[in-house]
C-alpha cells in the first residue's frame, strides 16, 4: 500500500513587498488571503517522491536547486523525485527576475524561501499514512479561455480588450476579433487520498488557467484559494487540497467575445471562478475510481535549451530607447522597433528586458520530471507552457491518466508553440527574460516528457 503525507507552511511576504506579474512595480498594501507552500510526500517501499505547490508566480532555477538539496538533507528524498511547482499567482512576491520587480524586500524574502518549502516537506514526511488513491476527471468550459486572438486586421493579439463601450458600462465583445487562435484544456482532474478508515485526507486538483484573476495590491493566492475554501467547507477543514496549474501559458479567465460572464470587482470573479471549480471537484469525488497498481516511480531529465538572441541592430535600438526614449529614434529605427509589436506603451521596460536577456547564458538549464502512482502519472514541465503541448502529452502518453503541470523546478519563461513564432504579433513570444527559449523548445520538452512517461 502506498503511503502519503501532507504539510504546509505559510510563505506570505511582508506587507510592502514588491508584487509580481505586471510590467511596472506594485507594492503590497495588505493580505487578502495568505500564501502557502503545500507538500505532498509519496512513499512505497524504498521509493519516496514529493510534489510541492507554492502560491508564487515562479521560482528561479538557483532557488530550486538549493531548495532540493535542503529537502534531501532533511528528508532523504532524491532531488530527481521532487516537483516544486509555482501556481503562478500575480498577487504574490516577485520571485522571478523579470520586468524590474526586484527590490531589497524581495531579496530578503527569497533568502528564507528554501527553508520554508523544505519545512513543508519535512512536515509531510513526518505524517505518512497508508492510503488508497482514487482518480476522477470532469470538464469545466466556463472559466478558462485562450487569450490569443486572430484580429480582422490579420494580427494576433493577446488580451485585445473588450468592445469600445466597455468603460461606458456596456458589456460587449470586441468586434475586431475573428476567433481565438488555439484551444483550451477543460479537464478537471482529481486524485483523492483516503486513510485506512476510509476518510478523505487529501485531494490533488489539476486544472489549466492563469492565476491572474485578481489584480490590485493585496496579496492573494487567487482562484485556487476560493476553490480550496469551498472544498474544505464541504469536506472538512482538515482536508488537504493541493492545486497544480496545468499548461496555461496562453490561457486566462477573460473571454473577450462574451464579457457578460465577467464579474466586476477584484475578488468577485475570483470567488465565482474558484467556487465553480470547487463544485466540479466535489462532483468528481462522487464518481472516483481506485487507481490500478500501487507502484511508485519517478524519473527526471535535465536539458540545456539554447536561448534566443536579438540582432545587433535591435540591441542598439534598445540601448537608445533606454537612454533617450522612443521619441528620439530615427525613422529606420522606429520601423525596426515597431516590428516587435505589443509594446503596451512601456517601450523602456521592453528595451531593458531585451538588453538583460542578451546578457544571460546562451543555454538555459531546465528539468522535466515525471512521477507515476500506479496507472496515473504526473508530469512537471518548466516555464509557462502553451496548452497545445499539455494536450499533446495527454494524447500521446502511454498512461491513460496524465496530469500535466507547468512552472515546475524552475521558471524558464513562456514556451509558445513553434507556430506562434511565425505569427506576426503576440506578447508571449516577444524576446525578454520572460520569453527566451528557442522556438523548438516546446517540442523538445514535450518529447522529453513523453520519453519519461514510458517508464
CB 404 within 8 A of CB 379: yes
Looking at the DSSP bridge assignments, the partners of residue 301 are 368
Q: Phi/psi zone of residue 391: left (φ > 0), alpha (ψ -120 to 50 degrees), beta? A: alpha
Cβ neighbours of residue 374 under 8 Å, at least 6 residues apart? 133, 291, 292, 293, 294, 295
pTM for this one? 0.96
For residue 211, report the phi and psi dihedrals to the nearest 5 degrees: -90, 75
- In this structure, what DSSP letter does residue 413 have? B
| Alpha-helix runs per DSSP H in 126-252 | 223-235
Q: Tell the residue number behind the cell numbers 523548438, with chain if given.
A: 440
Distance CA 410, CA 381 (A): 9
What's residue 23's pLDDT? Answer: 81
What's residue 455's pLDDT? Answer: 86
What's residue 111's pLDDT? Answer: 95
**Count of Cβ atoms closer than 10 Å to residue 230 Cβ:** 20
**Count of Cβ atoms closer than 10 Å to residue 55 Cβ:** 28
Cβ neighbours of residue 422 under 8 Å, at least 6 residues apart? none
- What is the residue-level pLDDT of the chain in tens, covering all 455 positions? 899 999 999 999 999 998 998 887 889 999 999 999 999 999 999 999 999 999 999 999 999 999 999 999 999 999 999 999 999 999 999 998 777 666 677 888 999 999 999 999 999 999 999 999 999 999 999 999 999 999 999 999 999 998 765 555 567 889 999 999 999 999 999 999 999 999 999 999 999 999 999 989 999 999 999 999 999 999 999 999 999 999 999 999 999 998 877 787 779 999 999 999 999 999 999 999 999 988 999 999 999 999 999 999 999 999 999 999 888 898 888 888 876 655 556 888 889 999 999 999 999 999 999 999 999 999 999 999 999 999 999 999 999 999 999 999 999 999 999 999 998 778 899 999 999 999 999 999 999 999 999 98
The C-alpha cell that represents 238 in the structure block? 482538515
The C-alpha cell that represents 196 in the structure block? 485506512
Q: How far is CA 221 from CA 98, 218, 271, in A?
A: 20, 10, 11
Distance CA 277, CA 284 (A): 11
**Helices first, then strands: H and E counts in the chain:** 10, 25
Looking at the DSSP bridge assignments, the partners of residue 367 are 302
149 CA to centre of own chain: 21
CB 394 within 8 A of CB 404: yes
Cβ neighbours of residue 254 under 8 Å, at least 6 residues apart? 145, 147, 159, 262
Looking at the DSSP bridge assignments, the partners of residue 242 are 204
CB 406 within 8 A of CB 381: yes
Distance CA 176, CA 263 (A): 23
Amino acid at each position: 500500500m502506498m503511503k502519503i503525507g501532507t504539510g504546509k507552511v505559510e510563505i506570505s511576504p511582508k506587507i510592502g513587498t514588491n508584487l509580481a506579474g505586471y510590467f511596472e512595480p506594485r507594492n503590497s498594501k495588505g493580505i487578502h488571503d495568505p500564501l502557502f507552500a503545500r507538500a505532498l510526500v509519496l512513499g512505497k517501499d524504498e521509493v519516496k517522491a514529493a510534489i510541492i505547490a507554492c502560491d508564487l508566480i515562479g521560482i528561479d532555477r538557483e532557488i530550486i536547486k538549493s531548495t532540493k538539496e535542503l529537502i534531501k538533507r532533511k528528508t532523504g528524498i532524491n532531488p530527481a523525485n521532487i516537483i516544486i511547482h509555482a501556481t503562478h499567482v500575480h498577487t504574490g512576491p516577485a520571485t522571478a527576475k523579470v520586468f524590474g520587480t526586484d527590490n531589497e524586500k524581495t531579496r530578503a524574502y527569497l533568502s528564507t524561501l528554501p527553508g520554508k518549502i523544505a519545512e513543508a516537506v519535512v512536515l509531510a514526511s513526518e505524517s505518512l499514512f497508508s492510503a488508497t488513491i482514487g482518480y476522477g476527471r470532469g470538464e469545466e468550459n466556463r472559466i478558462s479561455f485562450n487569450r490569443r486572438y486572430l484580429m480582422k486586421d490579420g494580427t494576433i493579439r493577446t488580451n485585445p480588450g473588450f468592445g469600445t463601450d466597455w468603460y461606458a458600462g456596456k458589456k460587449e465583445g470586441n468586434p475586431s476579433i475573428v476567433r481565438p487562435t488555439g484551444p483550451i484544456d477543460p479537464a478537471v482532474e482529481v486524485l483523492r487520498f483516503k486513510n485506512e478508515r476510509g476518510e478523505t485526507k487529501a485531494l490533488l486538483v489539476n486544472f489549466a488557467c492563469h492565476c491572474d484573476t485578481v489584480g490590485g495590491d493585496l496579496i492573494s493566492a487567487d482562484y485556487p484559494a476560493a476553490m480550496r475554501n469551498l472544498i474544505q467547507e464541504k469536506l472538512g477543514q482538515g482536508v488537504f487540497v493541493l492545486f497544480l496549474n496545468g499548461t496555461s501559458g496562453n490561457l486566462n479567465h477573460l473571454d473577450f467575445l462574451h464579457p457578460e460572464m465577467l464579474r466586476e470587482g477584484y475578488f468577485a470573479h475570483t470567488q465565482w471562478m474558484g467556487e465553480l471549480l470547487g463544485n466540479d471537484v466535489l462532483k468528481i469525488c462522487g464518481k472516483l475510481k481506485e487507481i490500478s497498481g500501487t507502484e511508485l516511480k519517478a524519473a527526471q531529465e535535465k536539458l540545456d535549451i539554447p536561448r534566443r538572441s536579438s540582432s545587433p541592430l535591435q540591441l542598439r535600438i534598445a540601448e537608445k530607447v533606454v537612454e533617450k526614449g522612443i521619441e528620439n529614434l530615427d525613422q529606420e529605427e522606429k520601423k525596426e522597433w515597431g516590428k516587435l509589436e505589443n509594446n503596451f506603451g512601456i517601450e523602456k521596460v521592453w528595451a531593458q528586458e531585451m538588453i538583460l536577456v542578451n546578457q544571460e547564458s546562451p543555454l538555459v538549464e531546465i528539468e522535466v520530471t515525471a512521477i507515476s502512482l500506479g496507472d496515473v502519472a504526473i508530469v512537471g514541465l518548466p516555464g509557462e507552457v502553451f496548452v497545445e503541448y499539455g494536450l499533446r502529452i495527454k494524447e500521446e502518453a502511454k498512461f491513460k491518466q496524465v496530469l500535466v503541470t507547468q512552472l515546475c523546478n524552475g521558471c524558464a519563461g513562456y514556451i509558445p508553440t513553434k507556430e506562434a513564432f511565425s505569427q506576426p504579433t503576440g506578447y508571449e513570444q516577444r524576446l525578454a527574460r520572460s520569453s527566451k527559449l528557442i522556438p523548438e523548445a516546446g517540442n523538445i520538452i514535450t518529447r522529453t516528457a513523453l520519453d519519461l512517461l514510458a517508464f
